[in-house]
Amino acid sequence: MSDRTRSGAGGAHAADAPRDARGDVARDETARLIAADKVNGTAVYDRAGERLGTVYDVMIDKVSGKVAYAVMSFGGFLGIGERYHPLPWSVLDCDTALGGYVVDLDRRRLEGAPSYAANEDIDWNDRAWGQRVSDYYGTRPYWDAA
Please tell me whether residues 20 and 41 are part of one structural domain: no
Question: At residue 84, does pLDDT exceed 60?
Answer: yes
Please tell me whether residues 48 and 119 are part of one structural domain: yes
Angle at 113 between CA 41 and CA 116, to 5 degrees: 60
Q: Indicate the pTM of the whole model.
A: 0.76
Please tell me whether residues 16 and 47 are part of one structural domain: no
Please tell me whether residues 67 and 3 are part of one structural domain: no
Please tell me whether residues 4 and 39 are part of one structural domain: no
Please tell me whether residues 20 and 43 are part of one structural domain: no
Percentage of the residues of the chain whose pLDDT score is greater than 70: 75
- Residue 37 banded pLDDT, cuts 50, 70, 90: confident
pLDDT on residue 10 = 38
Q: What distance in Å separates the CA atoms of residue 123 and residue 59, rounded to the nearest whole number? A: 13
pLDDT on residue 111 = 86
- Residue 16 banded pLDDT, cuts 50, 70, 90: low
Please tell me whether residues 52 and 81 are part of one structural domain: yes
Please tell me whether residues 41 and 98 are part of one structural domain: yes
Structural domain of 63: 35-144
- Residue 78 banded pLDDT, cuts 50, 70, 90: low
Q: What distance in Å separates the CA atoms of residue 59 and residue 107, rounded to the nearest whole number? A: 23
Please tell me whether residues 63 and 135 are part of one structural domain: yes
